[in-house]
Amino acid sequence: MKAKTQNSRFQIPDSGYTLIEILVGLTIIAFLFILGYVNFRDFSRRQAVAGAAKKIQGDISLTQQLALSGQKPTDIRCNPPNLLNSYDFVIVTPSEYKIVADCTGGNVENKDVTLPSDISISSDSLNTINFKVLGQGTNIVSRETVTFTLTQAQTNNTFSLSVGAGGNVQ
């Protein structure tokens, strides 16, 4: 029988990872994390523009529905004998739009929306779409469309909405 030497307890086993292997593994993990983060950030920014566009699309449809129903706001400027002429979707500034009731007694603001600070809205022709009451049409010329473009400042992501003469939003 061989006697064990004292040094056998202190031998380093041959299995395990070297420092280089660990550093390579950590580098790959860091690279994948950074790539995922960048893609997620871009996705989030695109979704912010798309979300603002959906909100505007909904507000344009709301403006049209209010005009079609002929629903007067409760305001002295629209109370009898004053009449409701139309509802207007108005771009006030590149970061703000309003829904306004146009009555014979004056305008009544229904909704005022401020867009997120990095998103702006612009129009190719009209800054106001006028939806006349009870389905009498819009101020958009027949067979024409008005295109609203939303732009995100940092990324130049854009989203476009078109409104036809009949008030249909695409």
- Give whole-number Cα distances, 92 to 9, 10, 43, 160, 169, in Å: 81, 79, 29, 18, 20
List phi, psi (to 5°) of 139.
Answer: -90, 10
Whether 5 shows a pLDDT value over 80: the answer reads no
pLDDT (tens digit, 9 = 90+) per residue, 102-139?
A: 999 999 999 999 999 899 999 988 899 999 998 888 99
Residue 168 in 3-state DSSP? coil
Mean pLDDT, the chain, integer: 89
What is the rounded average pLDDT of the residues 76-100? 94
pLDDT at site 154: 83
User: DSSP labels for 31-62?
Assistant: HHHHHHHHHHHHHHHHHHHHHHHHHHHHHHHH
pLDDT bracket for residue 83 (50, 70, 90): very high
* Region 69-98 average pLDDT: 93
| Runs of H (alpha helix) within the chain | 19-69
What sign does the CA torsion over 135, 137, 71, 146 have? positive
pLDDT digits (tens, 9 = 90+) for 24-44: 999 999 999 999 999 999 899
In whole angstroms, how large is the CA radius of gyration of the chain? 31
Q: What is the pTM of this model?
A: 0.81
Contact 77, 142 (CB under 8 A): no
Q: CA distances (Å), 143 to each of 60, 138, 156, 164, 167, in order? A: 19, 12, 30, 7, 11
Rounded mean pLDDT, 15-20: 88
The pLDDT of residue 141: 87
Please give the Cα distance from 134 to 71 (Å, whole number). 10
d(CA 142, CA 169): 15
Q: Cα separation of 18 and 130, whole Å?
A: 72
